[in-house]
Amino acid sequence: MASSSISRLTLQRLPTYLSYLKGLPESSPPNISAAAIAAGLGLGEVQVRKDLASVSDAGKPRIGYLVSDLIRDLEQFLGYGTCNRTVLVGVGNLGLALLSYSGFAEYGLHIVAAFDVNKALIGNTVDQKPILPVEDLPAFCRESGIQIGVLTVPAAAAQSCCNALVAGGVRAIWNFAPVHLQAPPGVLVQRENMASSLALLSYHLKTQSGYPGETRKNGRQSEKEIGGKRNG
């Protein structure tokens, strides 16, 4: 049985498990263990076992999980079987790419319309999704039962667009703008911080720039690090 409460970190790992299970070859055995999932994803077995136990009680000792049952339980817990009506605000390069992406439907996210301030864009459609004036955003959200708002606007416009979504009854906001947003209690703002992700990548490259166990200085190994003075 799924747990009534679940940590944020566990919740963030669940889609990874689901993607892994869906990507298994058709010739794979019908059952899979937490240990096998952990090995396939490079995670700790205890962590995986605890995560799966929080959303599914289908696991059996020495047998593991029936893959189809575990996929079903994960999808149900994550709400992928539902249809969350969504709007996107900001039809720039990123917004246009998200608006055109058809894969969101698999995760229960259905973008029904987009909003922008650019008069040259208003009135057009992208994949049968209309682009509407941003001043109509609160009313549209209320009348259409919008549940999620996606923000792909410049930082300076993000808070006012967030306020408009909240005024329209939206309770979940996916924020791609590089700014922290203020929202009232009961409204979840999930920020995609690309700077943080890039920092992790850059740090990894920096620490892996030398041979294993070595630290580089200005691209060259120091004499101290290689065990003393140079000969001659």
Identify whether residues 89 and 186 lie together within a single domain: yes
Identify whether residues 103 and 92 lie together within a single domain: yes
What lies within 8 Å, CB to CB, of 154 at 6+ separation is 90, 177
For residue 113, what is the domain's CATH number? 3.40.50.720
The Cβ of residue 40 has, within 10 Å, a number of other Cβ atoms equal to: 15
Identify whether residues 90 and 185 lie together within a single domain: yes
Domain tally, the chain? 3
User: 67: which 2 tokens?
Assistant: 């893959």
Q: Does 52 fall in a domain?
A: yes
Identify whether residues 200 and 187 lie together within a single domain: no
Q: Does 231 fall in a domain?
A: no
Going residue by residue through the chain, which has 232 residues, state the pLDDT in tens, using 9 for 90 and above.
455 578 888 988 999 999 999 999 999 999 999 999 999 999 999 999 999 999 998 888 888 999 999 999 998 888 887 778 999 999 999 999 999 998 898 888 999 999 999 999 999 999 999 999 999 999 999 999 999 999 999 999 999 999 999 999 999 999 999 999 999 999 999 999 888 888 888 888 988 865 444 444 444 444 444 344 444 3
- The predicted pLDDT at position 220 comes to 44
Range of the domain at 127: 84-192
For residue 25, what is the domain's CATH number? 1.10.10.10
Residue 117 to residue 179: CA distance in whole angstroms: 19
Identify whether residues 149 and 183 lie together within a single domain: yes
- The predicted pLDDT at position 164 comes to 98
Q: Does 232 fall in a domain?
A: no
Q: What are 150's strand-pairing partners? A: 88, 174
Letter string b/e over residues 64-82, b meaning 16 or more CB atoms within 10 A of that residue's CB: bbebeebbebbbebbebee
- The predicted pLDDT at position 222 comes to 40
Identify whether residues 186 and 199 lie together within a single domain: no
Residue 148 to residue 141: CA distance in whole angstroms: 9
Place of tokens 């922290």: 180
